[in-house]
Structure 1
């Protein structure tokens, strides 16, 4: 069988709203256009789960936290916990959420299911070498596990991904 003919599809993540899923898709498309690879719903060592993490060709790590509504943003006070695991941090929102509620120190992306645009770049806060290595290894392990699960869905069970 030709690899070009084999198309693997990840099952949808049913924990998020349709709006959040659309924003995630648009954000991932944006980062792909920028030459980054992404993983959605990425577990960090501190137990938090990043909505999207992106890895650039030069090893820069970016985390994007998706907020689908004003209420969603106001209910979430955990976003500072992500900054220790990335070089850059963004919020991604739909056009219906006022940009003014997003803290100035975070980057800002407006997105929908078809694409996204960066409205504000975040401040850089480069990771230490040891933290960068740890997060990048976790990224590689997660990506390889996802590929394995797609190629052989019955091989990995009980949340081993």
Structure 2
């Protein structure tokens, strides 16, 4: 049984996300998980770089997980760069060549390929920075005060 002091076990994609976030921090990027850029989309990791660059990283824990993803192209208009994060055993030849590639595990990661840059427009960047800041603040507040109701207020 889990209560507010004992987190549930992490799923494989969440473990990949943790490793990715740890690695990105070494590049001076800060990140949040499960951010909603717009209705109907939820990215696994959104990272904010030291120069304001916005990256989206989709974590895929298996071939079936990747093949069932029908929304990933909808993430492209919401970031400057897009990456896939997979483990070392993932068949990376399935992934599009024109996207970034990160090999990860629960403890770290390595950027194998950086996808092309497609800079956000200034108005969209402002929206994404506000969403990132609100998301991070809500998560930080929920970590300090995990009473019911605080974690359920994340909105797009």
TM-score normalised by length of structure 1 = 0.86
1:47 is aligned to 2:30: no
Structure 1 residues 53-64: aligned runs within 5 Å: 53-64=46-57
Gaps of 5+ in 1: 1-8
The CA distance in 2 between the partners of 1:10 and 1:82, in whole Å, is 33
- Secondary structure, counterpart of 1:52 in structure 2: strand
- Secondary structure, counterpart of 2:18 in structure 1: helix
Structure 1 residues 13, 74: closer, same or farther in 2, change over 3 A?
Answer: farther
Structure 1 residues 51, 158: closer, same or farther in 2, change over 3 A?
Answer: closer
The Cα of 1:12 is off from its aligned counterpart by: 4.7
Report the counterpart of residue 96 of structure 2 in structure 1. 103
1:147 is aligned to 2:140: yes
Structure 1 residues 45, 11: closer, same or farther in 2, change over 3 A?
Answer: farther
The CA distance in 1 between the partners of 2:126 and 2:93, in whole Å, is 35
1:135 is aligned to 2:128: yes
| Aligned-pair Cα RMSD in Å | 2.1
- Secondary structure, counterpart of 2:98 in structure 1: coil
Number of matched pairs: 151
Report the counterpart of residue 83 of structure 2 in structure 1. 90
Report the counterpart of residue 107 of structure 2 in structure 1. 114
Report the counterpart of residue 67 of structure 2 in structure 1. 74
**1:33 pairs with one of 23, 26, 39:** 26
The Cα of 1:159 is off from its aligned counterpart by: 1.4
The Cα of 1:112 is off from its aligned counterpart by: 0.5
**1:21 pairs with one of 14, 21, 28:** 14
- Secondary structure, counterpart of 1:159 in structure 2: helix
Gaps of 5+ in 2: none
The CA distance in 2 between the partners of 1:12 and 1:50, in whole Å, is 21
Structure 1 residues 33, 135: closer, same or farther in 2, change over 3 A?
Answer: same
The CA distance in 1 between the partners of 2:134 and 2:19, in whole Å, is 24
